Amino acid sequence: MTNLYCSQGHQNPSGSKFCLQCGEKIIETPVNSGIQAGQTLGDRYVIVRQLGQGGFGKTYLAEDINRFREACVLKEFSPQVQTPYIVQKAEELFQREASVLYQLQHPQIPRFRELLRINLQGKESLFLVQDHVAGETYNSLLNSRKQKGLKFTEIEVRQLLEQLLPVLEYIHHVGVIHRDISPDNLILRIVDQLPVLIDFGGVKQVAQTVASQYYQSGVITSGSSGTLLGKIGFAPPEQMQTGLVYPHSDLYALAVTVLVLLTGKLPQDLIDTQNLQWLWRREISLSPLLGDILDKMLSPRPSDRYQSARQVLDALNGKAVNNSPPVAPTVYPATQPPKPTTSPTTAGTIAVSPPKTPAPPAVATPTPQNTSIWTTTNVFIVTVALFSSIGLLWWGISNRGNNQDGSNPDITLSPTPTETPTTPENNFSPEERERKQRLSDRRQQLGIDNNFYISLINQLFWEKNPNIQGRDLNDTPEDEDLREEWDQIAAQTLDKLSLLSSRARRQMGTYTPAERDRWKVEVNRRNVSSRALYDLGDATFFRVFPEYQGKNFIEQPVGQVWHAFVNDKLNAILSNSAFARIVFDPGTTGKTVSGNLQPGGGKVFIAGLAKDQTMEVKLDASSQVLLSIYSPSGKVTFLEDSTVRTVSKTLPETGFYEFVVVSTASKSTDYQLTVTAENPPEPEPTPTETPTETPTETPTETPTEEPTETPEPTPTETP
């Protein structure tokens, strides 16, 4: 008996006409149509069931057999309208959604995995692969409640706003407008009960617009625009009329979504279509605060709306909101990565309480850089920095290295207001002021975020002085020696960080687990595992921070430095400077590669080998060069950071084997790596009483660059 599923994924017994949980009508897919459950695509994704179907194609739930059968979603590119123009435009939009998802790293956004191209039944097919979110859409939740005479409460929708607005602030900050917020595109995730935003890029809506042009021109005479009508009411009028979008376009759609959840009615039933006035107040009664916020989000005039998600959050929290002018539509300038949320820090030489784990940019709520920076707080800070001799209060908030008066930008007071402002450097000797200025100049030259810099040096300082952990250093002579030690640690650390690329340095303080997941996807495409990537990063990191060998430091500020080194090694692998493929020459069963490793350097080699072959590996190098050998699936580790120089093994599986060499030497060193692989001998024939001929020897096959099976390696757990 075959189970049936509705579009929300609810399981129902065979023969069901309507979903037993949400009441949706079930459309049973013919057995011989499309992709079937159990089918494997790309030798990697096993189809579990179909999730839904739209104008772009079908969406499937699948399991990734190369990642411990993790659940994922495959969105098929198969537009129903098959004219050359429609296919071309639809593929462009599909690629756009993939590129948008690739940029976004947020725990409330499904992670993009890859764009999969395969030949399916003689036709090239395109699939977008992303993480599966276990949960129900808010539309499904609303339908279930309506059957019981219930809707969402004000408390619930307010919580939804507070949990989702930071997500919108994040995507707007990186220059992305969702375009299609509605109850269908929000999922309440089971594991943590957080809303997850799906279907980015506005692909479906724009594709329907392209198709609609053909309907109207008469080139296409069949089809329906019903799906397109389903979006009317959620998007603001100017978006439907011109296609131009702004951050407040998403805020408008979010407000409509809230009203639909509160009333259980469609947008068309809540608005006067003649004058675009919303009539929701005749349906429900809300608190004055939330009611006024929704009215402002839904204002017919875009300039009267909130211009950013941060402004809505401030309004929800009772803070004064100062509308800034609308930002430019659609195209956003490049911005820096979002900064983690941290508490105000004190001077570069004044230790503060140990920072907690740096918040990922996904969770933090950074202020978009294309909005006005002249908030009341910032004006106050700049005024104090410029006119410190005036009797204004100084609250010790760092100005992130942008003081305009030429004073040390990394020195502020401890966050304790005083009636008469003082400047810490006034109590320092000329030598100390000069030392601090050099540190400040060096930090800014390296492009390191000041807040992260303070957190990192504080951690290193306190680890060397555990007896004063958490105590602030003051500007008195009693703490002069401690301030000097802090500065020395800072100078040494800046020298170590100079080994990183400028891009990796700028990102310190913003690396997240989602970033590590993205790295895994990147190296897996090269048939390299994350374990091999981390071997390269470890070699460089532990060379300059050997005291952290064997310690758990990933969630500490110094863990961000480790991420930066791994990020550089990722780019080295992708550029082939730290990666090579071993290919046997025709007629040979082995290959020798050689090179030179700089201190802390390393390289990953892969070779396509077959199951049951006999592999022999020999490394000629000093004892300070370590060797690791991993099987394709990662299930077998032949060597790991080992000084063993020869290995002989019968291979347990077919695929790309990894050979990682790293140097722990203090100077450059040479190496030579030899890999051979012999096929197993043919079994001897069973002897007979009167053998008529002597069996000939079967020639040994030479493994090729692409073995019969080449599964991607399974990434290992993060350290």
Residues designated as active site: 180
Measured CA to CA, the distance from residue 342 to residue 340 in angstroms comes to: 6
Answer whether 132's CB lies under 8 Å from 72's CB: yes
Measured CA to CA, the distance from residue 395 to residue 414 in angstroms comes to: 8
CB-side neighbour CA atoms (13 Å) of 665: 20
232: β partners: 235
If you search the block for the tokens 């951690």, which residue do you land on?
Answer: 459
What secondary structure letter does DSSP report for 717?
A: P
Measured CA to CA, the distance from residue 116 to residue 324 in angstroms comes to: 42
Residue 203 host element (H or E)? helix 203-217
Alpha helix stretches (DSSP H) within 450-607 = 450-464, 480-497, 502-507, 513-524, 530-544, 557-574
Q: CA angle at residue 208 from 203 to 209, to 5 degrees?
A: 100
Measured CA to CA, the distance from residue 635 to residue 464 in angstroms comes to: 39
Nearest alpha carbon to residue 171 among 106, 77, 223, 244: 106
Answer whether 535's CB lies under 8 Å from 719's CB: no
Task: List CB contacts of 255: < 8 A, sequence separation 6 or more.
Answer: 294, 297, 298
Binding site annotation covers 75?
yes
Longest pairwise C-alpha distance within the chain: 114
Radius of gyration of the chain (CA): 31
Answer whether 207's CB lies under 8 Å from 55's CB: yes
Signed CA dihedral, 447, 449, 452, 453: sign only: positive
Which of 627-660 are b and which e, b meaning 16 or more Cβ less than 10 Å from the residue's Cβ?
bbbbbbbbeeebbeeeeeeebebebebbbbbbbb
Task: List CB contacts of 294: < 8 A, sequence separation 6 or more.
Answer: 255, 258, 259, 280, 286
If you search the block for the tokens 């007071």, which residue do you land on?
Answer: 413
Q: CA angle at residue 73 from 67 to 79, to 5 degrees?
A: 140
Q: How far is CA 112 from CA 100, 131, 482, 511, in A?
A: 9, 7, 47, 17
Ramachandran category for residue 336: left, alpha or beta (phi over 0 → left; psi -120 to 50 → alpha):
beta
Burial class (CB in 10 A: 0-12, 13-18, 19+), 382: middle
If you search the block for the tokens 């069996």, which residue do you land on?
Answer: 695
Reading the block at residue 398, the tokens are 């760092």
Task: List CB contacts of 303: < 8 A, sequence separation 6 or more.
Answer: 323, 326
Residue 430 host element (H or E)? helix 430-446
Which residue numbers belong to the known binding site?
75
Which residue numbers belong to the known binding site for ATP?
75
